[in-house]
Structure 1
C-alpha cells in the first residue's frame, strides 16, 4: 500500500492515523510540535502542569471507538472517570445549580432551585433533548456532511423542524423552560459553537444533551493531554510512524493528484494520500496547492477567542467542583459585546479545578484555570487589552472567593498568543457554526480538484469539540480507504 501522510497530531489527525494504520496503510504523521496533541496541548511552569486545550470531554464512546478500530480497549490505555457534578453553575443572584448524573437526581436539583412546576417542565424538556440528539447524531453529526447528498434528508429535516431545531437556540429552550437560570444552563453552550444563543440554531441544543445528560468525563491520570498521548501510542502500535519537531511546508501534486509532502528539512515524503489536520486558513496560505482552494473559506467567520489564565496554587480548594461556570450579571450584554468585538462588560467565566489530576501539582498544591471568552483578533483591538483584562480578572476572582491570585505562578494565553501558536484570527475555536458554516457549508472534507487530499479537524464537518473532531478523523480515514480500494 502507498503511504498516507497525516499533517498534524491533534485529535483529528490522530483519529485518522489510528484507523488508517489499523487498516494496514503505511502512515506517517508529521507534527511540528515535540509531542502529540495539537490544540489538546500541555504546558509546564515549574512544578505545575496545565492542560492548554479542551477541558470538557463528553461522549466517551466516540473516543472508545478510535481505540476499538485498532482492536484496543480504551480502559486499558486511557481510563476515565465521570465527573460529579458535571458542572456547577453559579448565578449572579448567589444561587447555584449542580448538573449531576441521573434523570431523577437532576430533576431534584431543578426542583430545589426552581420549584415543582419548572421541574416538570424540565423533565419534558430533557426528553426533547434526547429526541433531538437521536435525530441529529446518526443523520448529520456522525456522517460525512461535506457531501451534499448527505444533507438532503427530507424526513429527518422535517422532524428537526417540528421539534424546533431551526428556531434560535434561546427561543427553543425558552419555549420549554421559564426560569432564567435553567434557560442559561441550557443555552450557554452556544459559546462552544462561537455564537450567542439568539444566533445559534436550536439544533445545537444537542450540546446541552451531550454534557448535561450524557455527562462530562476526565482521564484518571495525566489530565486531558493523556488523550492524545494514548492515541499516538495506539497509532504507533498499529504501525504508524511519527515525525515530531518537523513541519510540513508543501503538499505536492502530480498529474494524478497528491504526490507527497515537502518537509522543512528539505525531504520529500512520497504519498498517494494526505490528510491535513491543522488550521485550514493557515494551510491555504502556502502549505496547500492552489487547486485545493475552497469557496467556503473566501470569507471565513471565526469564533470569538478567549483569555485563559493558568494558576499554580499553594493550597487545595475545599468543595470546589471540577468545572464551575460563573455567570455575569447581564446575560445579553455579554454576548452582544462579543458579537461587536468588545470584551464582555461583566464576563461569564469557566473555572476548571482538576483536583483529581494529582500529578499536575506538588503535594498540597493544585492548579486552577480560568477562561474568559473574548474577541478574536479580527473583531477586537488587543493593544494593551490583555493587561487590563488580567487586572479585572484578579478582582473578579477575589470577589468570587478564590483569593488574591495576582502573585501566584501563572501562564496566560490571549488571542495574540493563540495566533503565535498557529490559530487563525487568534482563536482556538476555528470557524463559528452559523448556518452558512454548518454541515455541507463548512469547508469540504476532501479537495475536489486534488485527488488524494483530505481534511480533518474542527474546520471541517462536523465541527468544533472533542467528539466532532474525532468523528472528522474517522470520516477522513474512511474517504482515504474508499479512494484506495
Structure 2
C-alpha cells in the first residue's frame, strides 16, 4: 500500500495520463483519495503511448526502461504487485555500441559481465577503470537519490540542507563535467562516449553536463536496462489498471480547457483550486488538480491568467529528436541487439553544431531500437519494428522542417541499409519537432527543459504554484526531471504535495 498517509480524502483531478500522472494516480488512489484522471487521447501513456498499424506496434516515446524498483513501488502504492500486471525482462546486452572504425562494444547486463566485455575489447587497464567507475557511480547514486532526487524542495537553499550530503556530493566530484569525470577512469575514447552519451537525456553535451548526471549512466550501465512484454506501451496500461483497481476513475477522449480556481491567483490575494473545465463545458469539481501537461504549455493553455514563474520565462530547452518508426519486411542482422547506438566519427563538433548553432549534426550518432528481437508479437511474422532516433535542434534552432523532414527520413533510411537493417518498409511514421509541438511540447522537444545547474534540483520549476492553493504539477518539466525513472518519482512527489494541502 501507499506510504503516504492522508488526514482526509480529497477530490483530485489529474490532467493527463502520462507516466507522471499515472504515478500520481497510483499513490493518491492508494491513499484513499477520490481520483479522476482526464486524458485527451483514447489510451494512457502520453509520450509513452503506442501506435498499432497494419499489424505493427510502435512505442511512440521512451524505449529505454531502467530502475524497475521504482515501478514496483508505484504499483505497491496502489496496492498491486507489478508481476501481476506487467512482466519485465532484463536486456543483455543493454545496448550494442557501434563505432565509426568498425569496432563494437556491448553494454552487458551486470557488473561482472561488463567488466569481462571491457577486458576483451579494451584491455585489463580499462577494465580496472570500469570497476573504479562503478564504485564511484554507486556512491554517487546512494547519495543523490534520497538527498537530491526523491524529495520536494521548499526553497532553493534546501539544496544544502542537510549540509553533510551536499559536502559529500562536492567531494565526489559531482560538479565537474560529466565527460571530465568519466575520463578519470578511461583512456579509450570509445568507453568515454559509451559512458557519457547519457548527458543527451538531460539536454546537454557530455562536456557541459555536470557529473551529478552520471546518475543516468548508473541507471543504464550498473543497474541495467529492461523491456516489458508488449513493449513500453504496456507500462502505462498496467499502471492505469493498478490505479483503477485502487479506485481511480479514468476518462479518455476528453480534453481539459482550463484549471479553475477562485481569486485571481495573485501573490497578494491568492486563490484556491475549484476544479477543471472540459472543452465541452463540463466542469469537474476538485480540491486539488495535478497537471501532467508540459509545464510551459500548461501555463499558456490551462492557466492563461496566471503568469508563468520567472524560471519558465527564461528557460533553456533540451534539443529535440527526429524519430522514425518503420515496420519492415525481414529480420535485423545477426549482430544487432535490442538497442543499438551507432556513434558518428565526430563528437564534440557535432554537439556544438546541435546545441550552439541550432543545426543538424553533420555526423550524428543514432539510436536504433529493434523491439521485435525481444517480443516478436509486435510485428507480423518475418517482419521487424525499427525505432530510429536522431538528436535534432528544437524549434528554437535553424532547421526548416518543411524542407528537412523528407531529407532526414531518407538519410536515416540510407544509414539503416548501410548498417545492414531490413530496408523493405511496409508501414512508417515519422516525428519531427513540429509534431512534438502539436502534441503539446514546448519548442517541439519531448525532453523538456535542459538540466543546466539553474534548471535542476531546487532551481527547476517547482511542482506547486503557491499563488493557487491545490495546484500541483507532475512530469519531466518539473522536479526531479527527465526520464522514465525521474517522472515516476515526480508522481510520488506530486502526491506528497497533495497530502500536505
> Which of 449, 455, 460 in structure 2 is aligned with 1:442?
460
1:368 to 386, 408, 413: 386
1:425 aligns with 2:433: no
Displacement of 1:409? 2.2
- Equivalent positions of 1:114-133 (< 5 A) are 114-133=122-141
Distance 1:146 1:300, change over 3 A: farther
Alignment partners' CA distance in 1, 2:28 and 2:155? 21
- The match for 1:243 is 251
| Cα RMSD after superposing both structures | 1.4
Deviation at 1:72? 1.0
- Partner residue, 1:344: 361
Q: Counterparts in 2 of 1:207-246, with a 5 A limit?
A: 207-220=216-229, 222-246=230-254
Out of 298, 309, 324, which is 1:294 matched to? 309
Deviation for aligned residue 1:62:
0.4
Partner residue, 1:7? 15
- The aligned counterpart of 1:332 is 348
How far off its partner does 1:113 sit? 1.3
Question: How far 1:45 moved relative to its partner?
Answer: 2.5
Matches within 5 A, 1:135-214: 135-145=143-153, 147-148=155-156, 150-153=158-161, 154-214=163-223
Of 445, 461, 468, the residue aligned with 2:486 is 468
Aligned residue for 1:398? 417
Conserved 8 A contact 1:313-1:366: yes
Question: Do the aligned partners of 2:15 and 2:21 also contact (CA within 8 Å) in 1?
Answer: yes
Q: 1:77, 1:292 → 2: CA distance?
A: 41
- In structure 2, distance between residues paired with 1:333 and 1:292: 38
Q: Find the counterpart in structure 2 of residue 388 from structure 1.
A: 407
TM-score of the pair, normalised by structure 1: 0.97
Q: How many residues align?
A: 481
Bigger Cα displacement from structure 2, 113-122 vs 81-90: 113-122
Secondary structure, aligned partner of 1:366 = strand
Cα contact 2:156–2:459 (8 A) shared by 1: no
Structure 1 Cα separation of the partners of residues 100 and 365 of structure 2: 10
Q: Distance in 2 between matches of 1:379 and 1:436?
A: 22
Q: Tell me, in whole angstroms, the C-alpha distance in 1 between the residues paired with 2:416 and 2:304.
A: 48
Paired with 1:314 and 1:253, the residues of 2 have a C-alpha distance of 53
Is the contact between residue 2 and residue 26 of structure 1 (CA under 8 Å) also seen in structure 2? yes
Distance in 2 between the 1:347 and 1:408 partners? 26
Match of 1:87 in 2: 95
Aligned to 2:266: none
Of 323, 347, 359, 2:339 maps to 323
Q: Measure, in 1, the Cα distance between the counterparts of 2:381 and 2:422.
A: 20
Q: Which residue of 2 aligns with 1:57?
A: 65
Q: Secondary structure at the match of 1:167?
A: coil
User: Per-residue deviation at 1:408?
Assistant: 4.0
| TM-score of the two chains, using structure 2 as the length reference | 0.94
| Structure 1 counterpart SS, 2:325 | strand
1:39 aligns with 2:47: yes
Q: Which moved more, 1:312-321 or 1:237-246?
A: 312-321
After superposition, the Cα gap between the structure-2 partners of 1:292 and 1:73, relative to the gap in structure 1 and judged at 3 Å, is: farther
CA distance in 1, matches of 2:307, 2:21: 19
Structure 2 unpaired stretches of 5+? 1-8, 264-270
Compared with structure 1, are the counterparts of its residues 92 and 415 closer, same or farther at alpha carbon in structure 2 (3 Å cutoff)?
Answer: same
Deviation (angstroms), 1:2: 3.6
SS in 2 for 1:285: helix
> Alpha-carbon deviation of 1:436?
1.2
CA deviation after TM superposition for structure 1 residue 190, in Å: 0.5
State which of 92, 111, 115 in structure 1 corresponds to 2:119.
111
Task: After TM superposition, give the deviation of residue 380 of structure 1 in Å.
Answer: 2.6
Q: Is the 8 A contact 1:146 1:445 kept in 2?
A: no
Q: Could you tell me whether the CA contact under 8 Å between 1:261 and 1:270 is conserved in 2?
A: yes
Q: Which runs of 4+ in 1 moved over 6 A?
A: none
Asked whether the equivalents of residues 144 and 150 of structure 1 are also in contact (C-alpha less than 8 Å), the reply is no
Answer whether contact 2:43 2:252 (CA < 8 A) is retained.
yes
CA contact (8 A) 1:294 1:444 kept: no
Match of 1:266 in 2: 281
Match of 1:481 in 2: 499
Q: 1:451 to 1:289 in 2, by over 3 A?
A: farther
User: Equivalents in 2 of 1:126, 1:270: separation in Å?
Assistant: 50
